[in-house]
Structure 1
Amino acid sequence: MKREKLLRIFIDSEDKYKGEPLWKFLLKSVKEKGLSGATVIKAAAGIGSHSEIHTANILALSINLPLVIEIIDEEKKIEDFISFIDTILEEGLVTVQDVEVKIYRHR
Structure 2
Amino acid sequence: MSGQMKLLRIYTDEAAYFGDRKVFEVIAIRAREANLAGATVLMALIGFGRTAHVHTRHILNDDQSVIVEIVDEETRLRDFVASLADLPDIGLITLEAVEVLVRGPDAATRA
Q: Give how far 1:49 is off.
A: 2.6
Q: Sequence identity of aligned pairs in percent?
A: 30
Residue 4 of structure 2 aligns to a residue in which SS? Answer: strand
Deviations 1:7-65 (A, max 9, x none): 0000000111122111111111001111001000000101133221112233xx11200
Runs of 4+ in 1 over 4 A off after TM superposition: none
Q: TM-score, normalised by structure 1?
A: 0.89
Aligned in 2, Cα 1:106/1:51: closer, same or farther, shift over 3 Å? farther
**CA–CA separation in structure 2 for the residues paired with 1:88 and 1:19:** 13
**How many pairs were matched up?**
105
Task: State whether structure 2 residue 47 is matched by structure 1 residue 71.
Answer: no
Aligned to 1:54: 55
Long gaps (5+) in structure 1: none
Deviations 1:56-105 (A, max 9, x none): 233xx112000000000011110101111133244411000011111112
RMSD: 1.4
Please say if residues 6 and 96 of structure 2, whose CA atoms lie closer than 8 Å, have aligned partners that are also in contact: yes
Long gaps (5+) in structure 2: 107-111
Task: State whether structure 2 residue 74 is matched by structure 1 residue 103.
Answer: no
